[in-house]
Amino acid sequence: MAKGYDQHMERKNKVNSFGKELTRRAKSKCELCEATGVSLSIFEVPPVKEEPEVERCIFICDECRDKLERIRKAKENDFRFLSNSMWSEVDMVRALSIVLLKEMSKKYSWAEVILDDLYIDEATEELIQTIELE
């Protein structure tokens, strides 16, 4: 049991070591909704790999984390901010935003309209294929 705990703590420390880099990249704001002045934490975009990768991590606020944990129960306006984050210069933020928009488009026409106007390049499409939510 201690070995599993030690491995978990070692992995957690590796992920936490990305904090400074993510803070600089995010400019101390949520990379999804762009909220400032709020507590931010590292979110590993699933599936979580055995060895943590900074490229699969984004810096998000607690509210966005809560929304990501209940995507299927999202209300119509919960993810409207994706219309901005889908243009992010950060590949993983852009890819995750598009995945979330595709999920929202199953229930809400506003997301479908946004996706209709979006060009997805090959690299982003490949990244989208690696994301597995819920």
pLDDT in tens, 91-121: 999 999 999 999 999 999 999 999 998 889 9
Report d(CA 90, CA 37) in Å as an integer. 21
Could you tell me which residue, 100 or 4, shows the higher pLDDT? 100
Q: Look at residue 79 and tell me if it is in a domain.
A: yes
The helix (run of H) or strand (run of E) holding residue 128 is: helix 122-129
Please report the pLDDT score of residue 48 as a whole number: 86
Structural domain total, the chain: 1
Report d(CA 15, CA 19) in Å as an integer. 8
In terms of pTM, does the model score above 0.85? yes
Q: Look at residue 51 and tell me if it is in a domain.
A: yes
Q: Look at residue 87 and tell me if it is in a domain.
A: yes
Q: In the structure, what pLDDT confidence band is assigned to residue 62 with cuts at 50, 70 and 90?
A: very high
What is the average pLDDT across 36-57? 91
Report d(CA 78, CA 102) in Å as an integer. 14
Report d(CA 42, CA 60) in Å as an integer. 6
* Token pair recorded at residue 115: 């996706």
Q: Look at residue 80 and tell me if it is in a domain.
A: yes
Q: In the structure, what pLDDT confidence band is assigned to residue 33 with cuts at 50, 70 and 90?
A: very high
Q: Look at residue 90 and tell me if it is in a domain.
A: yes
Q: Look at residue 134 and tell me if it is in a domain.
A: no
Q: In the structure, what pLDDT confidence band is assigned to residue 133 with cuts at 50, 70 and 90?
A: confident
Q: Which domain does 100 fall in, by range? A: 2-129
Q: Look at residue 17 and tell me if it is in a domain.
A: yes
